[in-house]
Amino acid sequence: MNDIKFYKTCVDNIIYEGVFGKNTSHTFDTHFHNNVIVGLILNGQEDILLNNHCHSFKNDEIFIINKNIPHKCILKNCSYKTITLKTNQEYDFSILKIHDKNIIKLFKNDANLANTAHAIRLILNKICKKPFKSSIAKKINEIKKHILDNFDTKISIQELSKKFKMNKFYMIKHFKNNVGMTPLNFQTYVRITKSVNLLIKQQNISKTALDCGFYDQSHYSKNFKKIIGVTPLNFLKNFNHGKQI
């Protein structure tokens, strides 16, 4: 991994977070995000593996990954930038490729991050509004919400089964079909993604690990590197707080 930097910047009183990679060759193991991720390939190639299918993105192509969609990323000498699109709206897609010269032009200029995000929202609201969910999908969403709300506490399969009145094997099967991983693996990913901002704020790896439900720093660091791609220590070193890329 040659050069990956994490950034947070404020434009028009809206906070934007993202990643900037330069000539990077690296594989990010299966992970997901709590928000919609929008990325622009500046040069090189990024392959995104989702449900055993490879989606390839090259120069001047924009990808959009929906929140809570497990995927794996393979960067091939790739320069890219991403922004996190925070939204409460539910969208009916997993991954999209966009060829829009106007949005690409906006995205390349950091002064236009707010306009870029607005343009992406308009596209998603027009073509990807979430349809009515089945009763099983609604139940799985309730379980996901429970895990999100209690990510820092110990949760067992037996507890979830009892609380949501579902056979544990039936629950695990449908949760995995819907989310792409088991409930407990989902909790681990949530803990790591939730820990990022806390780590930036506290600048203390051990305290962040305990606050997010990990039993020690080693356990936290191992899972952090698996999901984020770097150790917590390297993440802090590479993070450009308040600096636009």
CA dihedral 216, 202, 238, 39 (to 10 degrees): 90
Contact (Cβ atoms closer than 8 angstroms) between residue 56 and residue 39: no
- What domains appear along the chain, each with residue ranges and CATH number? 4-127 (2.60.120.10), 135-241 (1.10.10.60)
Averaged pLDDT for residues 14-40: 80
Lowest mean pLDDT among 2-6, 161-165, 199-203: 2-6
Q: Please, is 212 exposed, middle or buried when counting C-beta atoms within 10 Å of its C-beta (0-12, 13-18, 19+)?
A: buried
**Helices vs strands, H then E, count in the chain:** 9, 8
231 pLDDT higher than 60 = yes
Residue 244: pLDDT band with limits 50, 70, 90? very low
- DSSP H or E run through 43: strand 36-50
How much is the pTM? 0.64
Q: What whole-number percentage of the chain has pLDDT above 70?
A: 90
Contact (Cβ atoms closer than 8 angstroms) between residue 33 and residue 65: yes
Residue that wins the pLDDT comparison between 1 and 137? 137
pLDDT in tens, 96-112: 998 888 888 888 887 77
Residue that wins the pLDDT comparison between 25 and 153? 153
In this predicted structure, what is the pLDDT of residue 243? 42
Q: Report how far Cα 243 is from the mean position of its chain's Cα atoms.
A: 21
